[in-house]
């Protein structure tokens, strides 16, 4: 499983801020330069927290004297109305960094919260819930980390650390067996996985010697048949139109993995509020 850094790259933080600040925060200039303030961040809904280092990193990039005190840790489940953290320092800096810091915290917590819901639905089964490459551009490492905070797992990070042979690859290569053979000849020492759409394609993939197979858009009955046909010769992954209300039934078919693009693609930001008190 991929291990994303807990500390975001300062270059990324700079890029996030540049998008919002540009040549400078004009509105913050109306605040006296030496004014000190304290802010608290409250969640308006139940959530799984994720993104502390990104939130803190924004403010400390702007001014290292900013002090952020957290009351919870990434991965913690927090009830609505709870104070997540307090931030203290120059008022101008708090105002300038507020939106970028909250955007990151809300988005990553949204990813972790959704992941936790899927994780809970499969508790007690051996299946692992995986994310996909359907991430927000520029936030892949961060969202992959958030998925883990929610109790799910990471699939490959990009096109460089795993081989996933899909329908178009098979068509271009000539057949399932030809595609698998070509991948094995690369000798890359990464996981080789192939997508199949029918039970006959599954048989062909097994005969080709691939050790991980993606069952694309299989019905529940087909999944059960695939598990029987497989006889544990390969790891089986389910993907395609997987919803929260059916994931338990899929897990109980005996497959090994369920990959869900919605974990990172259909993210709804958590509703957070940052309240500022001047002169503290």
Greater pLDDT, 267 or 2: 267
Please list the active-site residues.
99, 134, 166, 195, 216
Greater pLDDT, 199 or 242: 199
What would the pLDDT profile of 177-233 be if each residue is shown by its tens digit?
Answer: 999 999 999 989 999 999 999 999 999 999 999 999 999 999 999 999 999 999 999
Asked if residue 1 has pLDDT above 50, the reply is no
C-alpha angle 111/115/120, rounded to 5°?
155
pLDDT, position 2: 39
pLDDT, position 56: 97
Mean pLDDT of 39-62: 97
* Gap between the Cα atoms of 240 and 242, Å rounded: 6
pLDDT, position 76: 97
C-alpha angle 231/235/241, rounded to 5°?
110
pLDDT, position 279: 65
Could you tell me the two tokens for 7? Answer: 């500390």
pLDDT, position 3: 44
What would the pLDDT profile of 96-149 be if each residue is shown by its tens digit?
Answer: 999 999 999 999 999 999 999 999 999 999 999 999 999 999 999 999 999 999
Are 51 and 104 contacting, i.e. CB atoms less than 8 angstroms apart?
Answer: yes
């Amino acid at each position: 499983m991929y291990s994303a850094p807990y500390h975001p790259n300062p270059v990324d933080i700079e890029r996030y801020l540049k998008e919002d600040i540009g040549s400078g925060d004009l509105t913050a200039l109306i605040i006296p330069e030496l004014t000190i303030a304290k802010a608290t961040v409250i969640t308006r809904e139940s959530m799984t927290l994720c993104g502390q280092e990104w939130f803190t990193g924004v403010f400390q990039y702007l001014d290292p004297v900013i002090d952020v005190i957290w009351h919870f840790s990434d991965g913690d489940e927090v009830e609505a109305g709870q104070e997540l953290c307090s931030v203290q320092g120059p008022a101008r800096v708090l105002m300038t960094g507020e939106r970028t810091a909250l955007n990151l915290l809300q988005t990553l917590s949204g990813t972790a919260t959704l992941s936790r819901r899927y994780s809970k639905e499969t508790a007690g089964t051996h299946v692992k819930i995986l994310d996909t490459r359907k991430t927000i551009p520029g936030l892949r490492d961060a969202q992959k980390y958030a998925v883990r905070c929610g109790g799910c797992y990471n699939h490959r990070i990009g096109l460089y650390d795993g081989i996933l042979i899909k329908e178009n690859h098979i068509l271009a290569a000539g057949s399932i067996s030809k595609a698998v053979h070509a991948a094995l000849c690369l000798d890359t020492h990464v996981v080789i996985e192939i997508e199949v759409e029918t039970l006959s394609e599954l048989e062909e993939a097994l005969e080709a010697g691939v050790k991980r197979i993606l069952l694309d858009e299989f019905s529940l009955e087909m999944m059960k048949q695939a598990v029987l046909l497989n006889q544990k010769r390969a790891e089986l992954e389910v993907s395609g139109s997987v919803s929260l209300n059916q994931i338990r039934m899929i897990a109980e078919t005996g497959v090994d993995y369920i990959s869900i693009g919605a974990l990172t693609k259909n993210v709804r930001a958590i509703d957070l509020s940052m309240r500022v008190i001047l002169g503290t």
